[in-house]
């Protein structure tokens, strides 16, 4: 360990400096234990000055005892006492704890960059489920039993799965549920309830909107069905309102090109449904605009997973619904749980569209896919309209200028009658000519009118 280099570095997600031992040291140990661990240097100031202190034999043991007393699960940390520039430094070293989350006085912290972040209830729950290799959809639904499942839908799913398997699954409902751990006797899991409901579950609700522009809603639908059926229902809505071109080539058959790559859109829809946080009963939103698609999903990235890492696929997040993902994978609706993001983004880019925009908005994950060609066509159309209008105006102004040149001392009412244009139009053209200093208004003893300058 290069102590010189560490002491003169800045605090980060793995290193912390403390002037003295206190609850703040234990708080940092807890945040390291809930993240990826490492070291705290005690008796070192933030400006790298080292405080002189004398350590007694019982001092460190008292520190260790206090750490164990106020933490749950009990933290047992390694320590080291080193001499640096004739002064003593106490180094606590801790690794990531296997039974997360750890708390200090029933408060949970997690390391983010160079500070300790107080975890929310949602983050605590996620951390616990990840540690136990569980997910929300693996828990049992208290108010539902196996009688609330649609057996025909389960048998249909078995048939679809067997189409792609060498070793076939027995076509029996109870065997299927048991194989994928979707039930325990009469109890059923949230995954079973969402995948094979006899009655559409409220928590699976999806809102779909068709927008005429950024604020005007032309049509809206509310979907409540099994998750597998919802994929097809959302795709049917999207395909009904995006454009499709028919391209004629040298081949006998015409070529059809959708506004967006359908495979990529389908993957975005499927994964929005799979990775949604159903524990909160908050609906997903799919918005169809003339120039873009927008997907909103109540799902927050893990703190250590940034949007950049999501694009590059350098770090993976864990699936929020393991059993739902497993069934979708068996149906060949998805492949690897997280390769889809990188693959879908590339499909959109290979379609000559801009890179999809993925961002976090509060607790929502938003995906936007743009069709720049639509906007370009709209601009070209507007340019054409403007050019046509401007050309028409310029012709009329020139006609007015010629009339005034040949017929001086005339007013707007007379000019309007002679060249057969509304008086308001004549007044606008005259203003334009006056602004350009091409005509002027003159008075005489008994008459007045416009003249060429």
At residue 191, the pLDDT reads 95
Residue 222 pLDDT greater than 90, yes or no: yes
Window from 81-85, 101-105, 170-174, 212-216 with minimum mean pLDDT: 81-85
Helix axes 372-406, 423-435, angle to 10 degrees: 90
Q: Give the Cβ contact number of residue 198 at 10 Å.
A: 15
pTM of the model: 0.69
The CA-based angle 416-420-426, given to 5 degrees, is: 40
**Residue 105 CA to chain centroid, in angstroms?**
35
What the chain holds in terms of domains, given with CATH numbers, is: 3-120 (3.30.950.30), 202-370 (3.30.565.60), 382-452 (1.10.10.10)
Q: Give the Cβ contact number of residue 319 at 10 Å.
A: 18
Q: Classify the phi-psi angles of 225: left when phi > 0, otherwise alpha if psi is within -120 to 50, otherwise beta.
A: beta
| Residue 107: partners with Cβ closer than 8 Å, 6 or more residues away | 27, 118
More confident position, 413 or 171: 171
Residue of 315, 284, 287, 291 whose CA lies nearest to 301: 315
| Residue 299: partners with Cβ closer than 8 Å, 6 or more residues away | 272, 275, 276, 277, 320, 364, 365
Cα gap 252→171, rounded to integer Å: 45
For 301-337, write each residue's pLDDT tens digit: 766 677 777 776 655 656 788 999 999 999 988 876 5
Cα gap 256→86, rounded to integer Å: 78
At residue 192, the pLDDT reads 96
Residue 363 pLDDT greater than 70, yes or no: yes
At residue 385, the pLDDT reads 47
Band of pLDDT at residue 175, cut at 50, 70 and 90? very high
Residue 254 pLDDT greater than 80, yes or no: no
For 42-79, write each residue's pLDDT tens digit: 767 666 677 767 677 788 889 899 999 999 888 888 88
Once rounded to an integer, what is the mean pLDDT over residues 215-226? 92
Residue 377 pLDDT greater than 70, yes or no: no
For 400-420, write each residue's pLDDT tens digit: 888 888 888 788 878 888 888
At residue 187, the pLDDT reads 94
Once rounded to an integer, what is the mean pLDDT over residues 151-165? 94
Across the chain, mean pLDDT equals: 84
Once rounded to an integer, what is the mean pLDDT over residues 9-38? 87
């Amino acid at each position: 360990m290069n102590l010189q280099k560490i002491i003169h570095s800045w605090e980060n997600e793995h290193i912390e400096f403390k002037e003295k031992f206190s609850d703040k040291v234990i708080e940092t140990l807890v945040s390291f234990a809930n993240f990826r661990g490492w070291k705290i240097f005690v008796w070192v100031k933030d400006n790298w000055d080292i405080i002189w202190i004398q350590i007694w034999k019982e001092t460190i043991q008292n520190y260790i005892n206090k750490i164990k007393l106020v933490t749950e699960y009990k933290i047992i940390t390694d320590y080291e006492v080193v001499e640096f520039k004739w002064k003593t430094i106490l180094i606590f070293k801790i690794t990531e704890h296997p039974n997360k989350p750890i708390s200090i006085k029933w408060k949970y912290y997690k390391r983010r960059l160079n500070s300790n972040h107080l975890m929310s209830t949602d983050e605590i729950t996620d951390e616990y489920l990840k540690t136990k290799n569980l997910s929300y959809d693996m828990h049992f639904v208290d108010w539902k039993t196996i009688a609330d499942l649609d057996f025909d839908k389960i048998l249909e799913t078995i048939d679809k799965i067997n189409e792609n398997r060498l070793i076939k699954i027995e076509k029996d409902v109870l065997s299927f549920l048991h194989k994928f751990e979707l039930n325990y006797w009469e109890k059923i899991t949230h995954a079973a309830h969402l995948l094979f409901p006899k009655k559409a579950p409220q928590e699976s609700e999806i809102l779909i909107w068709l927008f005429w522009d950024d604020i005007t809603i032309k049509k809206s639908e509310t979907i409540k069905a099994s998750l597998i059926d919802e994929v097809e229902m959302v795709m049917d809505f999207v395909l009904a309102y995006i454009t499709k071109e028919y391209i004629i080539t040298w081949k006998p058959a015409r070529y059809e090109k959708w506004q967006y790559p359908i495979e990529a859109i389908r993957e975005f829809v499927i994964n929005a449904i799979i990775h949604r946080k159903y524990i909160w009963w908050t609906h997903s939103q799919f918005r169809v605009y003339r120039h873009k698609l927008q997907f909103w999903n109540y799902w927050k990235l893990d703190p250590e997973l940034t949007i950049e890492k999501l694009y590059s696929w350098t770090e993976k997040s864990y699936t929020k619904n393991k059993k739902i993902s497993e069934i979708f994978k068996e149906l060949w609706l998805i492949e690897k749980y997280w390769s889809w993001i990188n693959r879908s983004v590339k499909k959109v880019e290979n379609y000559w569209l801009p890179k999809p925009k993925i961002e976090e908005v509060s607790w929502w994950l938003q995906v936007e896919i743009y069709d720049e060609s639509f906007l370009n066509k709209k601009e070209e159309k507007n340019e054409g309209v403007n050019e046509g209008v401007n050309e028409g105006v310029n012709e009329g102004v020139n006609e007015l200028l010629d009339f005034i040149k040949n017929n001086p001392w005339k007013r707007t009412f007379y000019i309007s009658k002679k060249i057969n244009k509304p008086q308001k139009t004549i007044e606008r053209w005259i203003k334009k000519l006056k602004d350009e200093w091409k005509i002027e208004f003159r008075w005489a003893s008994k008459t007045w009118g416009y003249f060429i300058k």
